[in-house]
């Protein structure tokens, strides 16, 4: 088990944003927006899976995740860590190792053969489970995993995303309604602040990105994408 240091949350957010830029996990392109799986058009795109390929970055981010949870949730609040298929699985293994806890993973749907399992690993009835994902936008995918764990007898009061979009009011409402406390380390605001500080893009691009963060669905609609979340 690793000893955890409690770095200031604002410093953590800034460092994670800088690391994401350093490993080229962040992309800004206002001229040719990215089309997300939801149908939204976005001038920003992030690939948090790249964290896994950089051991020093990966280790630091997982230290931050462990510190965030112990600071905000407590030291003895969980019985196991759950990763969602697929991106959440390796991060669940890393965090479970940091916290000295068992790990399970949750499929998007039951296997359809064999035991028809949706949850893999050992989760006793009543286990207090923390769900982790690499990132969350509006919380929809995380709640698919949370609902599956609850249906199998697990208790989920907390979730953590290493990166949280932090721009959709619907997301915060979803977690409030679902009685889940969402923890996270960094958001798009942190990433934009680093881009401005380091002058990584011209002011026009940075202004377009800020306009998207201020009103993402309106920006998407103006640029050929959806203008409302289902």
pLDDT at 115: 61
pLDDT tens digits for range 149-169: 999 999 999 999 999 999 998
Write out the two tokens for 187.
């958001």
Percent of all residues in the chain with a pLDDT value above 90, rounded to a whole number: 83
4 within some domain? no
Structural domain includes residue 230: no
Q: Is 173 part of any domain?
A: yes
The answer to the question of residue 228 being in a domain is no
Q: Which of 60, 25, 43 is nearest to 224 (CA)?
A: 43
Question: Does residue 141 fall inside a structural domain?
Answer: yes
- Give me the mean pLDDT over the 118-134 stretch: 96
CB 109, CB 84: distance < 8 Å: no
Flag whether 125 is in a domain. yes
pLDDT at 116 over 80: no
Number of domains comprising the chain: 1
CB atoms within 10 A of CB 31: 9
With contact defined as beta carbons under 8 Å apart, do 48 and 163 qualify?
yes
Confidence of residue 230 (pLDDT cuts 50, 70, 90): low
pTM of the model: 0.92
pLDDT at 6 (0 to 100): 87
Angle at which helices 9-22 and 188-197 pack, to 10 degrees?
70
Specify the CATH number for the domain of residue 92: 3.40.50.2020
219 in Cβ contact with 226 (< 8 Å): no
DSSP state letter for 109: S
Who contacts 197 (Cβ-Cβ below 8 Å, separation ≥6)?
Answer: none
Burial class of 113 by CB neighbour count within 10 A (0 to 12, 13 to 18, 19+): exposed
What is the Cα–Cα distance from 209 to 230, expressed in whole angstroms? 23
Contact 195, 210 (CB under 8 A): no
Asked if residue 193 belongs to a domain, the reply is: yes
Residue 3 lies in a domain: no
Which residue range is the domain that position 202 belongs to?
9-222
Query: Region 54-59: what's the mean pLDDT?
Result: 97
pLDDT value at 1 more than 80 = no
């Amino acid at each position: 088990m690793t000893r955890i240091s409690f770095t200031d949350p604002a410093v953590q957010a800034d460092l994670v944003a800088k690391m994401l830029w350093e490993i080229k996990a962040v992309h800004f392109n206002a001229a040719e927006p990215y089309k997300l799986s939801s149908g939204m058009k976005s001038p920003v795109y992030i690939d948090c899976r790249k964290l896994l390929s950089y051991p020093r970055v990966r280790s630091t981010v997982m230290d931050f995740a462990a510190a965030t949870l112990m600071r905000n949730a407590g030291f003895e609040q969980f019985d196991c860590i759950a990763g969602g298929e697929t991106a959440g699985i390796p991060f669940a293994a890393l965090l479970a190792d940091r916290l000295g806890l068992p790990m399970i993973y949750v499929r998007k749907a039951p296997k359809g053969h064999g035991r028809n399992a949706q949850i893999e690993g050992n989760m006793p009835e009543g286990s207090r489970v923390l769900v982790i994902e690499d990132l969350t936008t509006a919380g929809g995918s995380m709640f698919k995993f949370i609902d599956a764990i609850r249906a199998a007898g697990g208790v989920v009061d907390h979730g953590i995303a290493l990166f949280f979009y932090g721009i959709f009011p619907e997301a915060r409402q979803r977690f409030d309604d679902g009685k889940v406390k969402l923890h996270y380390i960094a958001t798009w605001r942190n990433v934009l602040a680093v881009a401005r500080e380091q002058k990584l893009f011209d002011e026009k691009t940075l202004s377009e990105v800020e306009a998207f963060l201020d009103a993402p669905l309106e920006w998407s609609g103006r640029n050929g994408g959806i203008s409302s979340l289902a």
